[in-house]
């Protein structure tokens, strides 16, 4: 089982929740803006603490409110691709790419040269993030996460700031990367066509209004 | 009136001033950064009070600050007495005392500049570093500190310039002792009391103005150098 998630979290007037058990591969979270998709990714990454629940990915328990397990963000081995690239502005592209290599240790899923080829970053290594286009920056962000030796990926609308041709390019590269490394991906988007190009495993997160009793998304895949 | 060359006594005043100010800034740096970090990042009871206390030396008459230092750090004061008994250290009438007075007076400016730059650090970049496996310490030294560095340097430069100009608290706490506590402003004041001191006063005044102008230009340059990088990252 790749993702085994069962969480609840109150945010102001709203409740966010998800029960999900999936096989290996790419799992997509689909839903309107404001449904809490990003909050769910943040809970899996350890950036937001659930009020209640448990999270295990690839057999590793990351959080369990009953067993009082809450692994720190840095030790969750999560490759998080944010909506914005979040590259470090004071470092070169190459230094950004190598930032997480310590954790990857001696046996990374992919070596530096292969990653540079896969994502087409060869000409960018010396550049500063501020000089990159949106598509280039997002490719660097994916490469940086990939080199950090992740056990799984979290991708939060990684195409949000890109136009048509660039979106296709990044989608192809993500699919190719997945075929190559088989690292599971939890992928968030509000665009169903985008998700269908990557996977058939789609979980819909309904909008949780402030009134009435919330219904949480629940899915058992494969 | 001819300006003439800087005399050996005046050089002694200048080097003592530099020594006092560098020591003051060095003592204050770690405390100022820690307080700036706490004010920028943490929420705790009494935060408003701490913020006010930190700014106090900026608005209280410097003579009052000097008098308080005398009460606390003098040989009969609670801290001064303890230092004397435990380590045989006395700050009174010493250049180290002048450095402490300058440090207290420079702290508000240093904390202010550092706090602003810490607040400007994008915390989402720190989160990104953590997801890449960096713990708190590594995140601090590779992300937060480098991004806040221009503000830290600006704080150092402003604090240094403020220390060079420190007069009221210093003369109250450690008096005017040539070679030990006679810094630039005190030497200028003493020169004005003497009938033939005008040329010396002019030389020291020009030197002070040039030094402080240089420091302010340096701080402005550091601030400008930092901004395009941040602006470039917004997109």
Best of B121, B130, B132 to disrupt the A interface (most A CBs within 10 Å) is: B132
B119/chain A closest Cα distance in angstroms: 16
CB contacts of A134 in chain B (<8 Å) are 235
| A47, A76, A90 member nearest B146 (Cβ) | A90
Residues of chain A with Cβ-Cβ distance to B135 below 8 Å are 72, 74
Closest listed residue to residue B148, CA positions, set B126, B118, B119? B118
Q: What percent of chain A has pLDDT over 70?
A: 94
pLDDT of residue B22: 96
Cβ–Cβ below 8 Å for A129 and B130:
no
Mutate to test the interface with B, among A41, A43, A70, A84 (most CBs of B within 10 A): A84
Is A145 close to B132, i.e. CB distance below 8 A? yes
Q: Which chain B residues are Cβ-neighbours of A130 within 8 angstroms? A: 229, 232-233
Are the beta carbons of B47 and B58 closer than 8 angstroms?
Answer: no
CB contact under 8 A, A89 and B230: yes
Q: Which of B133, B135, B229 sits opposite A90 (nearest CB)?
A: B229
Residue A105 has pLDDT above 80, yes or no: no
Q: Which of A45, A74, A90 sits opposite B133 (nearest CB)?
A: A74
b/e code A185-207 from CB counts within 10 Å (16+ = b): bbbbbbeeebbeebbebbbebee
Is it the case that residue B229 has pLDDT exceeding 60?
no
CB atoms within 10 A of CB B223: 16
Check residue B150 and give its pLDDT: 87
Specify the pLDDT at position B233.
36
Contact B146 A103 (CB under 8 A): no
Selecting from B132, B146, B229 the residue whose C-beta is nearest the C-beta of A130 gives B229
CB B28 within 8 A of CB B110: yes
Closest Cβ–Cβ partner in B133, B143, B147 for A100:
B133
User: What domains can be seen in chain A, in order of their start residue?
Assistant: 3-220 (3.40.50.300)
Q: What local confidence, expressed as pLDDT, does residue B235 receive?
A: 27
Q: What is the pLDDT at residue A215?
A: 59
Range in A97-106, B14-23, B180-189 the model is least confident about: A97-106
Of all residues in chain A, what percent carry a pLDDT higher than 90? 61
CA distances in angstroms from A217 to A26, A29, A149, A220, B177, listed in the order given:
17, 10, 30, 10, 78
- Confidence at residue A218, expressed as pLDDT on a 0 to 100 scale: 75
Percent of chain B having pLDDT more than 70?
95
Q: What ipTM score was computed for the predicted complex, to two decimals?
A: 0.90
pLDDT higher than 60, residue A213:
no
Q: What is the pLDDT of residue B65?
A: 96
Domains of chain B: residue spans and CATH: 23-121+148-227 (1.10.3720.10)
Mean pLDDT of A199-222: 70
pLDDT grade, residue B234 (50/70/90)?
Answer: very low
Assess contact for A111 and A130: CB atoms under 8 A: no
pLDDT of residue B128: 97
Which chain B residues touch A49 with a CB distance below 8 Å? none
Smallest Cβ–Cβ distance between A88 and the set B133, B143, B232 belongs to B143
CA distance B120 to chain A (A): 13
Task: List, as one string, the DSSP characters of A21-80.
Answer: E--SSEEEEE--TTSSHHHHHHHHHTSS--SEEEEEETTEEEEETTTTEE--GGGS-EEE
pLDDT tens digits for range B48-71: 999 999 999 999 999 999 999 999
Q: Which residue of A has its CA nearest to B139?
A: A74
Is the Cβ pair B232, A88 closer than 8 Å? no
* pLDDT value for A67: 93
What residues in A contact B230, CB-CB < 8 Å? Answer: 89
pLDDT tens digits, B14-36:
999 999 999 999 999 999 999 99
């Amino acid at each position: 089982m790749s993702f085994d998630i069962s969480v609840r979290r109150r945010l102001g007037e709203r409740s966010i929740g998800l029960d999900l058990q999936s096989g290996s591969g790419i799992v997509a979270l689909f839903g309107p803006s404001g449904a809490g998709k990003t909050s769910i990714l943040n809970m899996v990454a350890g950036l937001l603490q659930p009020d209640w629940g448990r999270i295990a990915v690839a057999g590793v328990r990351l959080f369990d409110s009953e067993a009082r397990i809450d692994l720190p963000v840095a030790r969750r081995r999560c490759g998080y691709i944010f909506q914005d690239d979040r590259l470090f502005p004071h470092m070169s592209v190459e230094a950004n790419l190598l930032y997480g290599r310590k954790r990857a240790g001696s046996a990374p899923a992919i070596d530096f040269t292969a990653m540079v080829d896969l994502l087409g970053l060869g000409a960018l290594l010396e550049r500063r993030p501020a000089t990159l286009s949106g598509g280039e920056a997002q490719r660097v962000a994916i490469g940086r996460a990939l080199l950090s030796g992740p056990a799984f990926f979290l991708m939060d609308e990684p195409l949000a700031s890109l136009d048509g041709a660039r979106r296709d390019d990044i989608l192809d590269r993500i699919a190719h990367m997945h075929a190559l490394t088989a690292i599971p991906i939890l992928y968030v988007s509000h665009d169903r066509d985008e998700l269908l190009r990557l996977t058939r495993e789609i979980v819909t997160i309904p909008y949780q209004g402030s009134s009435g009793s919330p219904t949480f998304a629940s899915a058992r895949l494969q | 009136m001819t300006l003439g060359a800087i005399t050996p006594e005046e050089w002694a005043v200048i080097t003592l001033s530099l020594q006092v100010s560098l020591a003051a800034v060095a003592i204050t740096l770690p405390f100022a950064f820690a307080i700036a970090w706490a004010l920028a990042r943490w929420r705790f009871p009494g935060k408003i009070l701490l913020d006010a206390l930190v700014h106090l030396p900026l608005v209280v008459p410097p003579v009052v600050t000097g008098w308080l230092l005398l009460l606390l750090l003098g040989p009969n004061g609670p801290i001064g007495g303890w230092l004397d008994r435990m380590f045989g250290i006395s700050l009174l009438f010493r250049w180290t005392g002048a450095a402490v007075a300058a440090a207290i007076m420079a702290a508000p400016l240093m904390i202010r500049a550092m706090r602003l730059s810490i607040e400007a650090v994008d915390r989402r970049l720190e989160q990104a570093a953590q997801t890449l496996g960096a713990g708190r310490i590594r995140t601090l030294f590779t992300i937060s500190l480098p991004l806040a560095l221009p503000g830290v340097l600006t704080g150092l430069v402003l604090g240094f310039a403020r220390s060079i100009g420190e007069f009221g608290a210093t003369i109250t706490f450690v008096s005017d002792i040539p070679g030990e506590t006679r810094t630039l402003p005190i030497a200028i004041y003493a020169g004005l009391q003497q009938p033939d001191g005008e040329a010396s006063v002019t030389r020291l005044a020009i030197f002070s103005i040039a030094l402080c102008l240089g420091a302010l230009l340096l701080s402005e340059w550091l601030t400008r150098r930092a901004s395009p990088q941040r602006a470039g990252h917004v997109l």
